[in-house]
């Protein structure tokens, strides 16, 4: 029996929307890609010898370009469920009946997720794929695509899925990790490191709601967030994705970071399970060494909260624990997460991650599915993944019960988030960068700032002051947002459609009072110097010596530090603001600043928030959720130690000054 609603929508969409082009790429990324932020559009066939980043994420097979298909030409096939079924049957019965009606191949397809750039609408219908994702910076056509372009892509895929033999809607996933950050014009919230400094669950709850709303303007209803990376080494390039070095802050914020997504019909993902923040040397995707007790106390703690909050999905981490890849660990997935903790959502692998397991691709599929992974994120090799699941069941290497368990979990999440009721659900675009969301992002940024030093009444500044503002992040919203902002590696060069720079925000205050924005430091009384890290994400940001001038540090920091020294010697009030994804080693530079503020990666409204605090409209409330090391030898010295000595690091966990 045909599903009436989807049939009518199909006709409507078929007639009114342009066909979606599934721009294909065999994406291998190179240094040029990093420089140009162009990861998703090349047709590169060789690996650049200076390839940066994660070497084992390259596709192993080539998939032919998908054919662009107009919807009206997709044949309408019979689906196995009806709208009446959804409304009149108990969920569990609906899912059982649906599951029983599926062929092995249809089930296997539900267990696989493809990247949008490598699957066409026609293939979605042909394969009945379970899920599609946008990787970091993977837009329908261009980085500044409109909400409508995003929704057209989404709804075209959804129509194609409803037309597959199983008729099961897809669930579309995206990394909305600080707002719906792949979407041009979306509100960009502070990265998690800043939210950890607020340690304010109510704020996190509201941000999750706002982010869900800004996702739903595009129809997309699955975020690969929140990350519960309990970061033990600030050299790790993903430090800013974690709230804190200490599990207590994760535990405090975990439920708030999940509940409002799911109450708004968006699935959340607790990631990356398990131990992503604990690798030796802070190496991305590396190995964690430790006793089981330690791993449970530090890294597992937030997942109890996530399961209690009913999180829909959990993403497995690339890393190993004591030499064993989590993607192949039946102990950590089946035994601990599913049996012991009772997690009843579904488990997704990370991007191409099962390719890092031993053996052939067939072996990798078998060991990951048997370890308890329910859906394979196979951006490029999705078709081969489906084939291998089918083959493995036919060979009795994977049991039918395991497949049914995985598919039941996936169908249940789809059901609970309303995909069977209304797969085309969307919110109107007035939610995008609404005033309410801007205010919330500004509040979040304000609460995340930490005042580290304030001598000589350096701060707050008078609004009648004569101020010179300089430094690499003083007039660049892209740097305030950093990685995972319109592009995977961030967007400091192009505009992101929203936001206010620090310079513009402070100039606004000075100009509406009797202050002056000076154009030379010599003529000013106060010199504000905004230092920065260049944007990065994942392993690209790994840096074992993260100083103000080394590695990912902005190349203009050095000249700004020289200026700080000169201005200090000339008797100016020198204010430092650091925009960074982690505490940076300050070496001997702090002495040149009368006051110094850690701003983390405060997002699109960060400029206004910094201005609010520097001019004293609000007091500082942020407290360090990370220990600030005095030097490189102190990296890894965290508040999780029983013998933690607050006087040993430069600034201890929990530190933060206030005006009053
Ligand atoms: C990252 C995940 C992310 C996924 C999809 C992976 O490389 O580790 O955090 O969710 O890509 O973009
Ligand atoms: C994805 C990442 C992935 C990277 C490298 C990005 O587009 O979002 O998750 O790790 O590509 O292939």
Does ligand 2 have an atom closer than 6 angstroms to the CB of 57?
yes
Is 640 contained in some domain?
no
Ligand 2 atom with the smallest distance to the CA of 58 is 12
Report cis status (omega within 30 of 0) of the bond before 272: yes
Residues annotated as catalytic (active site), given as ranges: 350, 538
Identify the domain boundary among 401, 430, 459: 430
384 and 236 in a common domain: yes
| Alpha-carbon separation of residue 463 from 242, 356, 500 (angstroms) | 35, 56, 18
pLDDT given at position 20: 32
* Smallest CA separation from ligand 1 atom 12, residue: 135
Burial 401-424 (b: 16+ CB within 10 A, else e): ebbeebbbbbbbbbbbbebbeebb
Ligand 1 atom with the smallest distance to the CA of 227 is 9
406 and 532 in a common domain: no
528 and 379 in a common domain: no
CATH code for the domain in which residue 592 is found = 3.40.50.1700
17 and 166 in a common domain: yes
Using CB atoms within 10 A of its CB, is residue 500 exposed (0-12), middle (13-18) or buried (19+)?
buried
309 and 418 in a common domain: yes
Q: How far apart are CA 593 and CA 294, in angstroms?
A: 39
Domains in the chain, number: 2
Q: Which of 40, 57, 59 to mutate to test the pocket of ligand 2 (most atoms within 8 A of CB)?
A: 57
Is 28 contained in some domain?
yes
482 and 590 in a common domain: yes
The DSSP call for residue 353 is G
**215's tokens:** 């996702």
User: What is the CA(135)–ligand 2 centre distance, in A?
Assistant: 6
Q: Among all chains, which residue has been given the structure tokens 């504000």? A: 528
Does ligand 2 have an atom closer than 6 angstroms to the CB of 165?
no
Query: Is the separation of the CB atoms in 418 and 169 below 8 Å?
Result: no
pLDDT less than 70: residues of the chain: 1-80
Q: Angle at CA 639, nearest 5°, toward 534 and 285?
A: 50
Does ligand 1 have an atom closer than 6 angstroms to the CB of 228?
no
Query: Is the separation of the CB atoms in 511 and 517 below 8 Å?
Result: yes
Residue 268 φ then ψ, to 5°: -100, 165
Q: How far apart are CA 363 and CA 614, in angstroms?
A: 57
388 and 476 in a common domain: no
Q: How far apart are CA 25 and CA 33, in angstroms?
A: 13
SS (H, E, C) 18-75: CCCCCCCCCCCCCHHHHHHCCCCCCCCCCCCCCCCCCHHHCCCCCCCCCCCCCHHHCC
Is 657 contained in some domain?
no
Does ligand 2 have an atom closer than 6 angstroms to the CB of 137?
yes
483 and 587 in a common domain: yes
**441's tokens:** 């992002």
Quick: pLDDT tens for 193-216. Answer: 999 999 999 999 999 999 999 999
Altogether, the residues listed in the chain come to a count of 660
Q: Which domain holds residue 485?
A: 449-634
536 and 411 in a common domain: no
Q: Which of 192, 286, 350, 356 to mutate to test the pocket of ligand 1 (most atoms within 8 A of CB)?
A: 350
Q: How many CA atoms lie within 13 A of 61 on its CB side?
A: 14
Q: How far apart are CA 36 and CA 58, in angstroms?
A: 19
Which residues, in sequence order, are CB contacts of 390 under 8 Å at separation 6+?
104, 105, 108
Q: Angle at CA 515, nearest 5°, toward 512 and 521?
A: 135
Residue 405 φ then ψ, to 5°: -60, -45
456 and 412 in a common domain: no
Q: Which of 136, 181, 225 to mutate to test the pocket of ligand 2 (most atoms within 8 A of CB)?
A: 136
Give the distance, in angstroms, between the CA of residue 292 and the centroid of all CA atoms in the same chain. 27
pLDDT given at position 385: 98
Cα dihedral 11→15→18→21 (10° resolution): 40
Does ligand 1 have an atom closer than 6 angstroms to the CB of 226?
no
Q: How far apart are CA 374 and CA 392, in angstroms?
A: 15
- The residue ranges of DSSP E strands in 237-354, in sequence order, are 269-273, 287-288, 313-316, 320-321, 324-325, 346-348
Identify the domain boundary among 372, 395, 430: 430
pLDDT given at position 82: 79
Q: Among all chains, which residue has been given the structure tokens 């078929």? A: 14
pLDDT given at position 87: 79
Is 630 contained in some domain?
yes
The runs of H, that is alpha helices, within 529-575 are: 557-569
Collapsing DSSP to helix, strand or coil, 206 comes out as helix
Q: How far apart are CA 348 and CA 330, in angstroms?
A: 14
* Smallest CA separation from ligand 2 atom 5, residue: 57
User: What is the CA(578)–ligand 1 centre distance, in A?
Assistant: 27
- Torsional sign, CA 118, 121, 125, 126: negative
Collapsing DSSP to helix, strand or coil, 485 comes out as strand
User: What is the CA(83)–ligand 2 centre distance, in A?
Assistant: 37
Does ligand 2 have an atom closer than 6 angstroms to the CB of 172?
no
Closest CA to 557 of 582, 576, 536: 576
Closest CA to 29 of 380, 287, 545: 380
**165's tokens:** 């033999």
620 and 528 in a common domain: yes
Does ligand 2 have an atom closer than 6 angstroms to the CB of 488?
yes
274 and 195 in a common domain: yes
Q: How far apart are CA 659 and CA 657, in angstroms?
A: 7
Q: How many CA atoms lie within 13 A of 147 on its CB side?
A: 19
Strand order in the sheet with 324-325: 287-288, 320-321, 324-325
Is 375 contained in some domain?
yes
| Alpha-carbon separation of residue 565 from 13, 247, 455, 597 (angstroms) | 62, 38, 16, 17
CATH code for the domain in which residue 364 is found = 3.20.20.300
Query: Is the separation of the CB atoms in 495 and 542 below 8 Å?
Result: no
Which residues, in sequence order, are CB contacts of 415 under 8 Å at separation 6+?
86, 91, 94, 95
- Torsional sign, CA 522, 524, 525, 528: negative
Does ligand 2 have an atom closer than 6 angstroms to the CB of 380?
no
Is 653 contained in some domain?
no
């Amino acid at each position: 029996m045909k599903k009436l609603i989807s049939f009518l929508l199909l006709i409507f969409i078929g007639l009114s929307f342009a066909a979606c082009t599934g721009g294909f790429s065999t994406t291998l990324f190179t240094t040029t890609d990093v420089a140009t932020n162009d990861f998703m559009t090349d047709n590169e066939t060789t690996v650049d010898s200076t390839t940066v980043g994660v070497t084992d994420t390259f596709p192993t097979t080539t998939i032919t370009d998908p054919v662009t298909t107009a919807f009206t030409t997709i044949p309408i096939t019979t689906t196995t469920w009806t709208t009446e079924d959804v409304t009149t049957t108990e969920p569990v019965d609906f899912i059982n009946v649906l599951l029983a009606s599926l062929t092995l191949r249809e089930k296997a397809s539900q267990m696989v997720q493809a990247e949008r750039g490598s699957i066409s609408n026609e293939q979605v219908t042909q394969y009945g794929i379970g899920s599609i994702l946008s990787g970091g910076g993977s837009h329908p056509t261009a980085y500044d695509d409109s909400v409508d372009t995003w929704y057209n892509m989404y709804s075209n895929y959804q129509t194609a899925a409803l037309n597959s033999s199983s008729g099961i809607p897809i669930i579309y996933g995206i990394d909305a990790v600080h707002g719906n950050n792949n979407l041009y014009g979306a509100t960009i919230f502070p990265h998690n490191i800043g939210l950890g400094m607020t340690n304010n669950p109510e704020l996190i709850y509201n941000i999750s709601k706002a982010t869900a709303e800004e996702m739903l303007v595009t129809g997309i209803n699955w975020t690969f967030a929140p990350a519960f990376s309990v970061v033990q080494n600030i050299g790790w390039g993903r430090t800013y994705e974690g709230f804190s070095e200490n599990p207590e802050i994760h535990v405090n914020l975990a439920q708030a970071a999940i509940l409002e997504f799911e109450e708004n019909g968006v699935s959340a993902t607790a990631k990356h399970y398990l131990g992503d923040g604990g690798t030796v040397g802070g190496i991305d995707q590396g190995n964690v060494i430790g006793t089981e007790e330690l791993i449970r106390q530090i890294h597992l703690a937030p997942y109890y909260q996530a399961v209690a909050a009913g999180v829909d999905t959990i993403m497995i981490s690339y890393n190993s624990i004591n030499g064993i890849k989590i993607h192949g660990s039946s102990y950590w997935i089946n035994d601990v997460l599913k049996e012991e903790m009772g997690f009843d959502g579904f488990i997704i692998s990370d991007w191409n991650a099962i390719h890092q397991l031993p053996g052939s691709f067939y072996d990798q599929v078998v060991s990951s599915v048997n370890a308890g992974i329910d859906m394979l994120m196979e951006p490029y090799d999705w078709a081969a993944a489906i084939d291998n699941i089918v083959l493995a069941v036919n060979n009795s290497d994977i049991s039918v019960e395991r497949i049914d368990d995985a598919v039941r979990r996936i169908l249940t999440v789809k059901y609970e988030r309303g995909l069977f009721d209304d797969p085309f659900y969307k919110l109107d675009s007035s939610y995008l960068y609404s005033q309410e969301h801007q205010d919330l992002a500004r509040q979040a940024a304000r609460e995340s700032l930490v005042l580290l030093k304030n001598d000589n009444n350096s701060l707050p500044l008078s609004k009648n002051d004569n101020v010179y503002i300089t430094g690499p992040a003083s007039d660049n919203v892209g740097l305030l947002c950093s990685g995972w902002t319109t592009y995977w590696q961030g967007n400091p060069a192009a505009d992101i459609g929203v936001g206010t720079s620090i310079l513009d925000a402070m100039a606004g205050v000075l100009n509406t009072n009797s202050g002056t924005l000076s154009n030379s430091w010599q003529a000013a009384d106060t010199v504000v110097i905004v230092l920065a890290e260049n944007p990065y994400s994942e392993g690209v940001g790994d840096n074992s010596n993260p100083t103000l001038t080394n590695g990912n540090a902005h190349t203009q920091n050095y000249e700004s530090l020289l200026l700080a020294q000169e201005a200090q010697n000339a008797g100016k009030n020198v204010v430092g603001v650091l925009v960074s994804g982690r505490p940076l080693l300050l070496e001997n530079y702090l002495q040149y600043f009368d006051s110094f503020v850690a701003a983390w990666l405060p997002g699109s409204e960060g400029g206004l928030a910094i201005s609010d605090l520097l001019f004293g409209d609000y007091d500082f409330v942020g407290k360090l959720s990370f220990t600030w090391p005095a030097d490189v030898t102190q990296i890894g010295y965290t508040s999780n130690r029983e013998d933690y000595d607050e006087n040993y690091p430069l600034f201890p966990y929990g530190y933060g000054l206030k005006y009053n």
